[in-house]
Amino acid sequence: MTFFRRLPFFLLFAAYFFSCSSRLEGTTVLASGDGFVRAVAITFDDGPHEKLTPPLLDLLDTLGVKASFFLVGSMAEKNPELVRTIRSRGHTVANHSHTHRSCLSLSGEELEVDIRECSAVLEGITSSPVRFFRPPGGKFDRKTVDSVRKNGMKLVLWDINSRDYTGVSPSFIADRVVRKAVPGSILLFHSGVKATIDALPEIVSRLRKNGFEFVTLDEMFSAYVASEPFLLPAAKDLFIIM
């Protein structure tokens, strides 16, 4: 009898669960993950860097953290073994354009080529499909959204900018990120910044004490989600500058 009394609740939950999953499937622009799961995704832009990415990877291994790397295709071509290492250590490899030119400055055809070339390079190196794209500088418009969708990817931004690229100290980076982190947060860092490497142990330690787990974007946006992530409207002429 208890089961039948609870049946309406289970049916309602199932309907909500699958409707949210289907909405995610049709969404192109994402800025954070599931707000009901106490997990965050660490992401790094602008790599791979020949000198700083290896120690960053070693540190992530030591910390027991998997992250996501948005790589520039032209840089990946010069460091294919480093790209393979990123992937082999369990991190997500994602598209950050081939030339790192602003999506707003490119024509539709140029943008299409830029995105496809980067994915082709990364997939050729890792033998794995590329699921995510992040526009250089976070700047995008309608043609960017259309091109990303056409190429079968999700455009992933962030809800917490560490501002590590501005020359701030490791303690500033750590305090800013820990203070702002909420369930489902996507954290923006850059793999070519020494201060970021220095800040990560404190960030990871403090967030773990606050009950957070660390996931890759592949895990955060896996085949199903418990609730709908924060979505940005892909409106005409929309662009973001962070």
Of 45, 46, 141, 164, the active-site residue reads: 45
Q: How many folded domains does the chain comprise?
A: 1
Is residue 19 one of the residues assigned to a domain?
no
Is residue 81 one of the residues assigned to a domain?
yes
pLDDT mean over 190-200: 96
45 is catalytic: yes
Is residue 11 one of the residues assigned to a domain?
no
Query: What percentage of the chain carries pLDDT values higher than 70?
Result: 81
Residue closest to 132 by CA, chosen among 235, 29, 237, 41: 29
98 is catalytic: no
What would the two tokens of residue 132 be?
């995510």
Query: What are the two backbone dihedrals, phi and then psi, of residue 187, each rounded to the nearest 5 degrees?
Result: -100, 130
Is residue 54 one of the residues assigned to a domain?
yes
pLDDT value of residue 241: 37
10-28 in b/e form (b: 16+ CB < 10 A) is eeeeeeeeeebbeebeebb
Is residue 215 one of the residues assigned to a domain?
yes
pLDDT value of residue 237: 39
Domain hosting 115: range is: 29-220
Dump pLDDT digits (tens) for 218-232: 999 985 343 444 455
**What pTM, to 2 d.p., does this model score?**
0.84
pLDDT mean over 149-157: 95
Is residue 84 one of the residues assigned to a domain?
yes
Which residues, including other chains, have CB under 8 Å from residue 130's CB and lie 6 or more apart? 93, 94, 95, 118, 119, 122, 123, 153
Is residue 193 scored above 90 in pLDDT?
A: yes
| Helices within 30-161 (DSSP H only) | 53-63, 73-78, 80-88, 108-126, 142-150
Of 46, 96, 190, 218, the active-site residue reads: 190
Is residue 125 one of the residues assigned to a domain?
yes
Is residue 5 one of the residues assigned to a domain?
no
pLDDT mean over 4-31: 48
The CATH number of whichever domain residue 160 belongs to comes to: 3.20.20.370
Q: What is the 3-state composition of the chain as percent helix, strand, coil, each rounded to the nearest 5?
A: 50, 15, 35
Dump pLDDT digits (tens) for 71-115: 999 999 999 999 999 999 999 999 999 999 999 999 999 999 999
pLDDT value of residue 59: 98
Give the pLDDT band (50/70/90) at residue 199: very high
Give the pLDDT band (50/70/90) at residue 26: low
pLDDT mean over 195-200: 98
